[in-house]
Amino acid sequence: MDTVAQRPKKGEEVEAVVETIDRRGRSVGEVDGHPIILTRGIPGDRVRARVTKRRRAELQGVLLEVLERGPLHVDARCAHAQSCGGCRFQDLAYEAQLELLHGHIQEALANARVPFSEIEPVIGCPTPWNYRNKMELSFGAIRWVEAEEPEGVARDFALGFHAPGRFDRVLDVRECHLLFEGGMEFVTTARELAKELELSAWNQHTHEGCLRHLVLRRGVHTGETLAYVVTSEGGEVVEEFLERFCALHPELTTLVHGVNPGVADVATSSERRVVKGPGWITERLRGVEFRISPESFFQTNTLQAERLFGVILEEAAAQEADLVHDLYSGAGSISLLLAGAVERVVGFELSAEAVADAEANASRNGISNATFVAGDLAETIASVSERPDVLVSDPPRSGMHEKVVERVIELAPQRIVHVSCNAHTAARDLARLVHHGYELVRARPLDLFPHTPHVECVFTLTRRTS
């Protein structure tokens, strides 16, 4: 009879085999019959790890060394791969990433007990690198020092991404293979100018420091580029920074400066000023032109978003006389793409800036049958009285608010197209809809975020007749 070896102790070094990666991007392995969760590791790898926690259900550990690579393990592209975590899957073969994501959706639906027959294969991204049209970088006064850096390296300034699990430490990013081509040049300029002008970076502990965020956005089909610089205060040196930034990058079509004196670490501002250009960029998708402001939501992977919208239009199967409700409408992309095929579309969106963009986008495209309601859907949906024929819902990662689901069930649209980048919250929302008279008829996932554990999926539900 096989015996299971004793559970390793905290601090012990063990040899583990990685079996899979879970939906949170954690590697799940096994040590002598005991499950272990690791922060890294590719399925099939044999690794050396140190146990850091002994939970009842599993051990947790840090990976120390890959002893033998599994067949799906490929070379990571980025020098920051071990410290950043932004591309958690970059050393996993791309086809295997798609299979893993497919499994995550399947697991989420099964866990939430949503009956389904089949999930279509994940539509891969034909260009899985440099696909992000937007990147939000943080300035930080406490730099995350990477493992191989020399002793005594300066630690008081960084421009990049927060180190995983560290709200206060920022990794000084010199390369990023997700950012649009040429984007890193803006990052380098901002870093060099800040140092030259002796502008301090924001400190998350003391809430002091001037530079806070740099947001970059690119219109992939228009070539337009926006930079949004957020500081804690204004002043002459900030002005000089902005002026010189513009001068060094004539290709920048617009530059916006925002001031955010608050403590919350978000790239937003209470005061905003356009330094150059119109204050937004434009993008063209499937024949519709969109204006995108610094803080408006817009799909971050332009080419894959076009395919996503194609899938949504197919699944909406809207008819000429239909009324469509587009919940969580952002800058209006889905609403405006559907408007040409139906009688009327109403979009609902929290951000007033995104609604202003959506309205401007409707008029710049000569679309008069799309209107938008600004405000929190948990409140605005209460006053909706007309039953839509088709309802599209594309909520943030946290999913739909309970009150929104309740009202959707009362409104009883014949068809619901639920779009989600979080299979777990989607499964929760779908379970309620299925429980109240809907049937999940199709699930069509797309990889909008290659090399990350996130996956987009279009779920189509129809109302059962009896």
Ligand X SMILES: C[S@@+](CC[C@H](N)C(=O)[O-])C[C@H]1O[C@@H](n2cnc3c(N)ncnc32)[C@H](O)[C@@H]1O
Which chain residues interact with ligand X by CB under 6 A?
A: 297-299, 328-331, 333-334, 348-351, 354, 376-378, 394-396
**Residue 176 annotated among the catalytic residues of the structure:** no
Q: Which of 108, 89, 123, 86 is nearest to 305 (CA)?
A: 123
The Cα–Cα gap between 402 and 399 comes to 9
- Asked whether 255 and 246 are in contact (CB, 8 A), the reply is yes
- Asked whether 376 and 395 are in contact (CB, 8 A), the reply is no
H/E stretch holding 160: strand 158-162
- Asked whether 400 and 426 are in contact (CB, 8 A), the reply is no
Cα pseudo-dihedral 284, 290, 295, 300, rounded to 10: -30
Min. distance of Cβ 450 from ligand X in angstroms? 18
Min. distance of Cβ 297 from ligand X in angstroms? 3
Q: Where are the alpha helices (DSSP H) in 230-332?
A: 236-248, 302-316
Which residue, 70 or 330, has its beta carbon nearer to ligand X?
330
Which residue, 96 or 327, has its beta carbon nearer to ligand X?
327
- Asked whether 461 and 415 are in contact (CB, 8 A), the reply is yes
Residue with nearest beta carbon to ligand X: 330
Helix, strand, or coil (residue 75): coil
Q: Which of 275, 280, 225 is nearest to 249 (CA)?
A: 225
- Asked whether 377 and 327 are in contact (CB, 8 A), the reply is yes
Among the listed residues 84, 87, 210, 421, the single catalytic one is: 421
Count CA atoms within 13 Å of residue 375 on its CB side.
10
Question: Cα dist. 111→61, 400, 405 in Å?
Answer: 26, 18, 19
Which residue, 100 or 381, has its beta carbon nearer to ligand X?
381
Strand partners, 435: none
Min. distance of Cβ 111 from ligand X in angstroms? 22
Min. distance of Cβ 220 from ligand X in angstroms? 15
Min. distance of Cβ 351 from ligand X in angstroms? 4
Min. distance of Cβ 448 from ligand X in angstroms? 10
Which residue, 138 or 335, has its beta carbon nearer to ligand X?
335
Which residue, 197 or 373, has its beta carbon nearer to ligand X?
373
The CA R_g of the chain, rounded to the nearest whole Å, is 24
Which residue, 241 or 328, has its beta carbon nearer to ligand X?
328
Residues annotated as catalytic (active site), given as ranges: 421
